[in-house]
């Protein structure tokens, strides 16, 4: 019975303790800040999330500015709905609830720190809400360093970059240098970066005492000629004469790609109206897997043109191999001389389509040259006849 009464009395007692503060703020016509807890124990690198209530006792609606201060290197932000909040609007007696995010840096030394929240509206200031954050030492390990890789198995195609994220923890009470190395297949290259947002290539980092160093990146470049399969790699981190090796794996998937070209790179043709001209198109498999069923289609300038592709379908094209397709073009006899555009497209279910655009120059066959030759020949024949007839004694 006494225990039951005590359980009932505790909330009542807490409510009675809160009443004077609320009454004081109400009597003074001020601003009251309240929260759920004011003390917490965490480790360096952790985040604290709690709530802060802002109550308006000024008797009229007001815009109330709020702010949070934290030790150097720390971050304390008041948020609502994912937005950083610097002021709230509250009616008389109204309460606005905000979220306080406190970020403890990984380099924070063990000890007790304070984060303060205040609010004001014009000359009216609120009570100061103080959070005491006790940073406790990270659990010590028998190993000087600890290395963790959240995703040790990645996959990608040949020619791709596989980014392995990893973390190095210094379990010693002194500063240390950690160096990185990677055992990879021949022809593969590896670079280390301090973060995924940096382009600075590093070979190691400097670590503070009992520090956590997340977000490190090992970029592994897969050669373009790498065959599909599973490859083994080993990440090694060395510090204070101690090495940690983490096995990794890379699954290389096959790539499907091809290209269209001409023997001399020429994409123009000359043809007389009513005649046929031909050129060659080279289809090259630039991927690592065989391609099947490549279909070629030509889009002629108009329906009265005759355009052919032989062969129009390539059944199988192995990696690194080429296939030659003959393109024949015949404009109609009455085609107007000029430059026409002709597009050849290739389609495959395994890779994206490819296109070549040819510029076809059509010329007209003229008969004036033949007439001129006939006239010249006739004139020469006439002169010969005259000399032969009148030049004889």
pLDDT greater than 70 at residue 360: yes
Task: Count Cα neighbours of 342 within 13 Å in the Cβ-side half-sphere.
Answer: 30
Where is 375: in which H helix or E strand? Answer: helix 368-390
pLDDT greater than 90 at residue 308: yes
159 band by pLDDT with thresholds 50, 70 and 90: confident
CA separation (Å) from 41 to 49, 132, 133, 259?
12, 8, 6, 62
Q: Within the chain, which residue ranges are assigned CATH 2.60.40.10?
A: 21-136, 145-253, 258-363
Q: Which residue has the higher pLDDT, 143 or 272?
A: 272
pLDDT greater than 70 at residue 36: yes
138 band by pLDDT with thresholds 50, 70 and 90: low
The pLDDT, as a whole number, for residue 148 is 95
> How many Å apart are CA 313 and CA 297, to the nearest integer?
9
pLDDT greater than 70 at residue 359: yes
Is the bond preceding 311 in cis, omega lying within 30 degrees of 0?
yes
> How many Å apart are CA 368 and CA 349, to the nearest integer?
53
For domain 258-363, the CATH superfamily is Immunoglobulins (2.60.40.10)
CATH code matching the domain that covers 145-253, chosen among 3.90.45.10, 2.102.10.10, 3.20.20.70, 2.60.40.10? 2.60.40.10
The pLDDT, as a whole number, for residue 15 is 39
By the 8 A CB rule, do 305 and 260 touch? no
> How many Å apart are CA 40 and CA 95, to the nearest integer?
24
pTM: 0.46
287 band by pLDDT with thresholds 50, 70 and 90: confident
By the 8 A CB rule, do 256 and 289 touch? yes
| CA 361 from centroid of its chain's CA atoms | 45
The pLDDT, as a whole number, for residue 372 is 61
Which single residue is written with the structure tokens 């009513």?
274
- Please write the tens of the pLDDT for every residue from 236-279: 999 988 999 999 999 999 888 899 999 988 999 999 999 999 99
pLDDT greater than 90 at residue 14: no
> What mean pLDDT value characterizes the chain?
87
Domain 21-136 in CATH 2.60.40.10: yes
- Please write the tens of the pLDDT for every residue from 173-212: 788 999 999 999 999 999 999 999 999 999 999 998 888 8
The pLDDT, as a whole number, for residue 379 is 75
Q: Which residue has the higher pLDDT, 374 or 21?
A: 374
């Amino acid at each position: 019975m006494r225990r039951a009464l005590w359980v009932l009395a505790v909330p009542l007692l807490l409510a009675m303790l809160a009443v004077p503060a609320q009454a004081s703020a109400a009597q003074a016509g001020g601003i009251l800040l309240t929260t759920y807890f004011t003390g917490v124990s965490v480790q360096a690198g952790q985040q604290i999330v709690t709530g802060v209530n802002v109550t308006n006792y000024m008797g009229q609606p007001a815009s109330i500015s709020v702010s949070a201060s934290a030790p150097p290197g720390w971050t304390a932000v008041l948020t609502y709905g994912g937005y950083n909040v610097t002021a709230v609007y509250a009616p008389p007696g109204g309460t606005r609830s905000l979220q306080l995010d406190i970020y403890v840096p990984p380099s924070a030394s063990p000890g007790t720190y304070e984060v303060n929240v205040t609010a004001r509206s014009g000359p009216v200031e609120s009570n100061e809400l103080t959070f005491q954050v006790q940073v406790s030492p990270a659990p010590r390990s028998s190993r000087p360093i600890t290395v963790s890789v959240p995703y040790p198995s990645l996959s990608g195609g040949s020619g791709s970059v596989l980014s392995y994220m990893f973390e190095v923890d210094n379990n010693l009470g002194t500063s240390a240098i950690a160096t990185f190395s990677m055992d990879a297949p021949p022809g593969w290259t590896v670079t280390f970066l301090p973060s995924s947002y940096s382009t600075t290539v590093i070979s190691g980092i400097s670590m503070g005492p009992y520090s956590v160093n997340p977000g490190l990146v090992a970029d592994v470049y897969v050669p373009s000629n790498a065959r599909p399969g599973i490859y083994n790699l080993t990440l090694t981190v060395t510090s204070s004469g101690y090495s940690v090796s983490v096995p990794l794996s890379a699954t290389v998937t096959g790539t499907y790609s091809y290209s269209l070209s001409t023997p001399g790179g020429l994409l123009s043709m000359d043809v007389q109206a009513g005649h046929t001209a031909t050129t060659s198109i080279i289809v090259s498999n630039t991927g690592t897997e065989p391609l099947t069923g490549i279909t070629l289609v030509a889009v002629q300038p108009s329906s009265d043109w005759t355009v052919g592709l032989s062969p129009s379908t390539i059944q199988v094209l192995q990696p690194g191999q080429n296939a030659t397709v003959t393109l024949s073009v015949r404009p109609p006899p009455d085609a107007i001389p000029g430059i026409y555009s002709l597009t050849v497209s290739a389609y495959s279910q395994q890779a994206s389509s490819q296109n070549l655009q040819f510029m076809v120059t059509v010329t007209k066959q003229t008969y004036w040259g033949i007439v001129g030759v006939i006239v010249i020949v006739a004139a020469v024949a006439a002169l010969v006849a005259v000399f032969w007839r009148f030049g004889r004694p």
